[in-house]
Structure 1
Amino acid sequence: MALTSLSGCLVTVLVLFWSASWPPVHSASAPENEVPLRPTTWLPEGKIATVTLPKGRTRRLYFTLRKTPTMSLIVSPCDSAIEWTLVARTLKNKPLKSLEWSSKKSMPEVWWRGPGTEERIHSFSGNIVDTYSGPASPLASVYILRLRSKQQSSRATVYLHQGPGISGAFPQVPADPRVHTLGVGMTSVTLSWAPSASLTGLPQKSYEYCVLVNSERNFPSLCAARESARKEEVKKRMEKKTRVMAWPILKEWWWEQWEGDSETDADLQCVCRGTESVCTVSELLPDTQYYFDVFMMDRVNGTSAAYKGTAARTHEEARPSITTLTEGELRWVTFQDRGSTSEQFFSFRPHGVQQNGLLTLQSCGGGDKVKVTVSSKGVVLTSQAVGKDLVQIWLQGSPVYVIHLQRQGTTTANLPAGLTASVKMQTSSAYHRRGVPSLPSTLQVKSFNRLRGCNSITLAWMGTEERSLYCVYRRKLGRPEGDTLTAPCLGPESRSDTERVLCKYFQELNPRRAVTTAVIGSLEPGTTYVFDVYLMRRWGIPIKYASKTVKTRKEC
């Protein structure tokens, strides 16, 4: 029973559908099963119409005119060259007024099939905006605009005006429509152009200039620019992956900003910013070719006029001088102009098949803020601050490294007297190593009061599990250079050979038991000495322990 009811409902729906879709039969000249051979599109008057042009197919637009002696027709190709022809068709016998038209039979279809004559009024082929202005045909029954794109599927915009002239529907471009380049920088270009005559003596609220920049080409019309951006968007969606857009300074699709009443996004540099005829486009890439187009917009009528665009290449970014570091070279890096940020660049190429290396740095600049950035092949590997503590950076797997030292901010701190550098740096190839060398657990030096005599003392300090050389230097307290020698970045190279009292090798595989001692003799009774211990390494700069002050006994 339910199945019978459902079948009856379906039959009823089908009968209603077919009875509603079939047109009534009027005469033999309009059979109900006849479908128009060509699409029927009426061209509106006083509005911009966008027409899609499939490759190799002719699109036809129809329009009729009121009793007016003249008309104007503007056709703007989008993206590629097109062919268009305007003809006036006159029917020998006009259709019957009593003929009722359905969705399958329209007035232009009858004009096409009925006997009549055609008169070609105007034709054009190209990729620029073309305008026809002339008299209307007094005998024409209908006007037919044929458009065709042979190269590729494209679009075009058409604007029809009845009467003499365009009557201000389109903004006017000056006699010299060229866009001039006033200045070119590394990331900006300044443009200028002659003002539009549409701004003279007329309300300017509806007019504004819009500047478009891209890295592809200049566009002859606003329609061409929109079509190119639309195709980029479609291509991006089809690929389903992120890609660089052709509009480097525009964060949104810019034509959306030109339609409706929405305000222009603040990120859109110099796009639709009033009636000033000078504009600086910024946030560009150095050493890049850009194309600039200017459009005069009429928001009231929704029309635009294009200036003749220009192109400019931004200046190349100033390449910093890069100093090559040699194997094991110890370098003192001095920053000039202490009142501002300064930077220096170095390169290092490790030796050996493994291409391993070690970069060690230590700051001597007191309160200076120094940052080191290591990169290879344009990729940043590490970036960190450099202070009074030793910085070790392991280099592995790249043939060459770029080391960027940058002093950030300002400081009033002065270097210790006698120092001529802010950062101490050393690079060396690390053959057969698998990582950075180990460091002592503490850099404190200890003395033993029970082992302190009139002519000798005993010192102890922590070593490492790697076999290394340790050297001890002494000096009497009160020398003028005493303050300078306390700087942690100063190594044995700053000491006199007469101050060195001993050097010894030491190694302990257990880091907790890596303690070594040294007895320092040949001292004067009742004298205060400052002892400095240095860890001499095969890789990296020497490590200075904290200075230890000890006074020998006066009487023993």
Structure 2
Amino acid sequence: LKMSWFWLYLPLHLLMAPCLCHSIKAPTTSSQQSFKTDLFNFYHSLILADGKETTIHLLKDIPKRYYFVLEEGRVLVPFSITVTPCDVPIEWSILVYKSPPAKATPGDHNTQEVSKSQKASSMVSTIFNYKGNSVETYMGMSSHSALYLLEFLSTERDTHITVYLTTDTTSRHLYPELPMDPRIDVIGIGHTTVTLTWKHSPSVLQHRDSIQYCLLVNEKHNYKSLCAAETAIRSSGMKLPPTLALSLSPYLLEPQQVMILSNSELSIINKVSSGEVRQVCMGTKNTYTVPNLSPSTQYYFDVFIVNLLTNASAAYTGTFARTLEEPEPKVTELKDGKVVHVVLDGKKQKFYSLQYQARHKKIHFTFQLCRGQMRVHITRNGKTVASENLSGLRYFSLKGKLLDTYLVQLRSTEESNSSVKVQASPHFHKPLFPLLPESLKIKSFSKLRTCRSVTIAWLGTQEESKYCVYRKRIEEDQVWRELQSADRCSGPESRHKSEKVLCKYFYDLNLQRAVTTETIKGLEAGTLYLFDVYLFGPSGIPVRYHSKAVKTRKKC
């Protein structure tokens, strides 16, 4: 740049207010080069770079000034300045200093000094000022004989901002472009989901490989820039994922804090004292359904269009939505000894509540998980006494007072169907379900397999019980589906009569010897069979062992 006029004029205005109180005589020709060098070395950091985003840290109530001059030799130069507050509202302004006339005519020395001061004062003007926390861009045309000063001030607390100056208005911009309508539309609201859509950025259509959308979800408020979102999350004590730590590159995360969902989609969820903050980047998709939200909760949604090459971003106009209230679950009364079969579809109905009023001090709850995954939560007079995921057969023995009220809440933990059988009884010595062995697994013996028979074994108990064995011929590609869809609460009444192999009674007072075996004959060679064992207790209600798939030998 040819800025000889700048070095002569800068000492006069470098730290001056809009109105000058006195004048400074310009250096002589002999000392001009040395003066320019010293001045550049001292004020080098205050010159705003062209075409580069600059991060500026501001101290409370202390103004900070940056300068820039534009290329000489052109009458008018277009330029733009974009300022992004990263936290609290700030004040910033642009002042322009016009260069003085080339030379004063000879005359009285005092008259020349007064004339200089008056001219200098009249050549300073404020062309733009702003106060707030929104991203603001000023666009203008510059004369080659003008010096610009940017002044920034934070009156609330220490903060930082980013500033981007460019004079190249024809080439690709640093910031991605927003559409003409930058609003986010809410097109669907559920109990735990919100579906959003927004218009495509022109940058996505032009540079699909280097542009992506990122969505920020929180329960506090909207953010006007990705820079502001970073600051808010970091100040809450959370660490930022790399995709969110864009404009402040020194703050990077450990890679294990990012959970990859697919090649173009990642998500991170962080818990903070104020609630949950999520960031999801979904490539160039402009419709997204936010899952796993809490019912009856207001959420704020912000979409940022991010340039992956420059790490610069632009913010859509944020929106908010409140999820629907969760309908009150129907409460069913539990009666002594009566079994209630609860079925949840995992989508329309995920919760079920049962209430029981104790007529004895000691109460026994029994849960038999039939299908799927389910969690149980038991409260006594409003206080939690048990909470865990169910598996197989589970007993809870609770001691309280007469007329205590127990509330049993069941929740499906997967989207497929789940079911469970529930019983409450004060008489544990007469349980509805049979005494169970240590394991409900069925074992097969590979060495005892033949082309026509299979030998299986299972554990028994110290209580004499009835065991019935069933078999079913299946294809190899059906094994996983059969095991997943099996209803562990269903009894032999659901089986075809032809599948029944035998029934036997068995027990042993020595648990180490409470094992029984059975050889099933009359099978076909090279065929896969599914074997089931049902255990019947005194009440007649069966418990199904885990199914076992065994294939007979093809050649013997």
In the superposition, the TM-score normalised over structure 2's length comes to 0.52
CA distance in 2, matches of 1:370, 1:191: 31
Q: Is there any run of 5+ residues in structure 2 with no aligned partner, and where?
A: 1-30, 103-119, 268-278, 415-419, 436-490, 492-536, 541-556
Q: Specify the alignment match of 1:225 in structure 2.
A: 229
Instruction: Work out which of the two has the higher radius of gyration on C-alpha atoms and give 1 or 2.
Output: 1
Q: Is the 8 A contact 2:65 2:149 kept in 1?
A: yes
CA distance in 1, matches of 2:307, 2:187: 26
Q: Specify the alignment match of 2:82 in structure 1.
A: 74
Equivalent of 2:92 in 81, 84, 99: 84
Q: Specify the alignment match of 2:289 in structure 1.
A: 280
CA distance in 1, matches of 2:397, 2:52: 71
Q: Specify the alignment match of 2:131 in structure 1.
A: 125
Q: Is the 8 A contact 1:293 1:307 kept in 2?
A: yes
Secondary structure of the residue aligned to 1:335 is strand
Q: Is the 8 A contact 2:90 2:154 kept in 1?
A: yes
Name the aligned partner's letter for residue 127 of structure 2. Answer: I
Matches within 5 A, 1:84-123: 84-90=92-98, 117-123=123-129
Structure 1 residue 192, shift from structure 2 partner = 0.5
Q: Is the 8 A contact 2:219 2:298 kept in 1?
A: yes
CA distance in 2, matches of 1:266, 1:55: 40
Q: Specify the alignment match of 2:156 in structure 1.
A: 151
Secondary structure of the residue aligned to 1:228 is helix
Q: Specify the alignment match of 1:209 in structure 2.
A: 213
Structure 1 residue 137, shift from structure 2 partner = 3.3
**Does 1:402 pair with 2:411?**
no
Q: Is the 8 A contact 1:84 1:125 kept in 2?
A: yes
Higher strand proportion: 2
Q: Is the 8 A contact 2:247 2:312 kept in 1?
A: no
Structure 1 residue 130, shift from structure 2 partner = 1.3
Give per-residue Cα distances to partners, 1:52-79, cap 9 Å, x unaligned: 2222221111222223522111112222
Give per-residue Cα distances to partners, 1:397-424, cap 9 Å, x unaligned: 9964322468999xxxxxxxxxxx9654
Structure-2 change in CA distance of 1:73 and 1:381 (3 Å): same
Q: Specify the alignment match of 2:245 in structure 1.
A: 256
Name the aligned partner's letter for residue 301 of structure 2. Answer: F
Q: Is the 8 A contact 2:51 2:168 kept in 1?
A: no
Structure-2 change in CA distance of 1:137 and 1:312 (3 Å): same
In the superposition, the TM-score normalised over structure 1's length comes to 0.52
Q: Is the 8 A contact 2:365 2:396 kept in 1?
A: yes
Structure-2 change in CA distance of 1:90 and 1:319 (3 Å): same
**Does 1:191 pair with 2:196?**
yes
**Does 1:135 pair with 2:147?**
no
Structure-2 change in CA distance of 1:286 and 1:252 (3 Å): farther
Give per-residue Cα distances to partners, 1:311-367, cap 9 Å, x unaligned: 112223343222356xxx52513316699999752234668xxxx932124689999
CA distance in 2, matches of 1:397, 1:59: 73
Give per-residue Cα distances to partners, 1:228-252, cap 9 Å, x unaligned: 112112xx7xxxxxxxx9xxxxx84
Secondary structure of the residue aligned to 2:156 is coil
Q: Specify the alignment match of 2:305 in structure 1.
A: 296
Structure-2 change in CA distance of 1:187 and 1:362 (3 Å): closer
Q: Specify the alignment match of 2:23 in structure 1.
A: none
Matches within 5 A, 1:464-503: none
Equivalent of 1:335 in 331, 337, 341: 341
Secondary structure of the residue aligned to 2:236 is helix
CA distance in 2, matches of 1:437, 1:168: 79
Q: Is there any run of 5+ residues in structure 1 with no aligned partner, and where?
A: 1-25, 95-114, 237-244, 246-250, 410-420, 429-435, 444-486, 488-542, 547-556
Name the aligned partner's letter for residue 132 of structure 2. Answer: G
Structure 1 residue 149, shift from structure 2 partner = 1.7
Structure-2 change in CA distance of 1:185 and 1:119 (3 Å): same
Name the aligned partner's letter for residue 297 of structure 1. Answer: V
Equivalent of 1:168 in 166, 173, 184: 173
Q: Is the 8 A contact 2:340 2:422 kept in 1?
A: yes
Name the aligned partner's letter for residue 88 of structure 2. Answer: S
